[in-house]
Chains A and B, each alone.
Chain A
């Protein structure tokens, strides 16, 4: 089985600039423009969040598109599905009634209530109009990557090696 892609974050590179949050909101606006987007009503909303782990240590976090999504099991209108091929977990807004059962069981706390726009649950949709999610493309420090778990782990291992090497001398 091909491993599905999702957004991975390299905590060592995150400087908490929140560019990901802004790029996310802009991508989900109507005008797709930062300044015009600010004037839109309902206001465009972010689905990625910069969380602090400790002082000066942060990461950008959005929906993890879980292998066994609790939100999907809890959804009482059956509006959450997981694509068998891509692994993406999606909310069908037309069927969401805003009961928040998904929020109730999300282990990461990254689903929001879109109360200014028809009371629907809101979360990362991996930017369906783009090849790679807006947050990943916008990240100035290359903290975020859209890849499979294996690719991510391999890349991180590699990076650690290079880093250790350059510090030995």
Chain B
């Protein structure tokens, strides 16, 4: 509840995960100030994470709209869609928007997200070469599909393989070209990647690793891709999945940035009243123990939420970010978090593998604390492990059963009793009020 009437102008650039979360959290504590939301996307808020599901034909376009139509009215927010912020004057607190109009603000959130990296090889400008980041990208691919028999995906990460899966479900023959030795080289260790690769191949997705596209061939439109080993693959569609880069352009040189805009514990940049959240931001990573970009939806929501509260005058500390992701292809689920491929000393890996049932569990431990993990198939425990890691719980008492098939939340409760102060959520305490260990 507001203790006093505030009279701020909050400007929020971007109406995706981070921007929306900020609007919602600001309105929780400040009902009187102005909020202006500016976005260069023409559509009302949608979830870009669902684009591959839409592309696959698993769901209609309707699934994408993550907020109701009257959203901006409900949150008493002025919205400028289809409007690019072309410049920012941080010192004088004004934004320049397309059409040369100016907008003044008291507090600014930069939630401009990221853009897909493009590939600068010969022929990449031909018709039929796409990335998958926006609804326009997905619709563009869909328009091509009637004339596509073969598609090549360049990149073996989350977006590349999600796109491959979607096209496969559409009946397109898909070949994925991966530069690294393994697919999902960011998210998975080699063992897990191999299990997933085999599963994808069995289901008809072709994968080549250790190769790169050298040139895209065709007249105006793509008709093939030439690889760096000289081989050529026929295809009428190419999707580039080579990762993303934060959209920093409008504040370049004005706020401190590395791979993303550097945000402190309150998600404020090095300039007062200027905040950053989501894919555009770089914050402290609690599992990697360094500043890091974690360009994932949950981080964008959390950062947007905390940034919004701090902009509105609350003093909320951000717990820090972390990497984590979840995938499901042809009914095989895989998840991972934190450090999955430990480098250097001091790490211990707890591994359980049952290749026949395609069960794989790996937990990475450092100094009696969990710092990462990979799970295939029985993923239900993922969140339990993740929170043990985030709260830096000493797991030495249960280390021998962490990777066990029958590990569940019950085994954590004795730890809550012994390390009460580290378990932050009130719900943890609820679960052990009536538990009195015998020792």
A binds B: yes
When C-beta atoms are compared, the residue in chain A nearest to B331 turns out to be: A115
| Mask: chain B, 418-439; 1 = CB below 8 Å from A; 0 = not | 0000000111101111111110
| Mask: chain B, 290-319; 1 = CB below 8 Å from A; 0 = not | 000000011001100100000000000000
- Report Cα–Cα, A59/B432, bound state, in Å: 9
Contact yes or no, A109 B409, CB < 8 A: yes
A93 to chain B, nearest CB (A): 12
Contact yes or no, B383 A77, CB < 8 A: no
- Report Cα–Cα, A22/B59, bound state, in Å: 33
| Mask: chain B, 371-410; 1 = CB below 8 Å from A; 0 = not | 0000000011111101100000000000000000000111
Contact yes or no, B408 A49, CB < 8 A: yes
When C-beta atoms are compared, the residue in chain B nearest to A98 turns out to be: B328
Q: Size range of the interface on B?
A: 35 or more
When C-beta atoms are compared, the residue in chain B nearest to A107 turns out to be: B387
Q: Which residues of A contact B331 (CB under 8 A)?
A: 115, 119
When the two chains form the complex, which single residue of A9, A54, A112 contacts B380, counting CB atoms closer than 8 Å? Answer: A112
When the two chains form the complex, which single residue of A59, A68, A78, A113 contacts B333, counting CB atoms closer than 8 Å? Answer: A113
- Report Cα–Cα, A89/B66, bound state, in Å: 17
Number of interface residues of A (CB under 8 A): 47
- The total number of A-B Cβ pairs within 8 Å is 144
Contact yes or no, B434 A101, CB < 8 A: no
- Report Cα–Cα, A53/B398, bound state, in Å: 11
- Report Cα–Cα, A109/B382, bound state, in Å: 7
Any A CB within 8 A of the CB of B233: no
A residues 59-83 with Cβ under 8 Å of B? 59, 61, 64, 66-68, 70, 73-74, 76-78
Contact yes or no, B409 A9, CB < 8 A: no
Q: Which residues of A contact B379 (CB under 8 A)?
A: 100, 103-104, 113
Any A CB within 8 A of the CB of B335: yes
When C-beta atoms are compared, the residue in chain A nearest to B428 turns out to be: A107
Any B CB within 8 A of the CB of A12: yes
- Report Cα–Cα, A11/B384, bound state, in Å: 20
Do A108 and B409 contact each other (CB < 8 Å), given the known contacts A11-B434, A73-B302?
Answer: yes
A41 to chain B, nearest CB (A): 17
B370 to chain A, nearest CB (A): 13
Any A CB within 8 A of the CB of B414: yes
Contact yes or no, A67 B427, CB < 8 A: yes
Contact yes or no, A53 B435, CB < 8 A: yes
Any A CB within 8 A of the CB of B63: yes
Name A residues whose Cβ lies closer than 8 Å to a Cβ of B. 8-12, 49, 51-54, 57-59, 61, 64, 66-68, 70, 73-74, 76-78, 95, 97-101, 103-113, 115, 119, 149, 152-153, 156
- What are 14 residue pairs bridging A and B, where the CB atoms are less than 8 Å apart in the complex? A8-B430, A51-B413, A59-B431, A59-B435, A66-B425, A76-B297, A77-B47, A104-B379, A106-B383, A107-B428, A108-B431, A109-B382, A110-B409, A119-B328
Name B residues whose Cβ lies closer than 8 Å to a Cβ of A. 21, 47, 49-50, 53, 58-59, 63, 66-67, 297-298, 301-302, 305, 324-326, 328, 331, 333, 335, 337, 379-384, 386-387, 408-411, 413-414, 425-428, 430-438
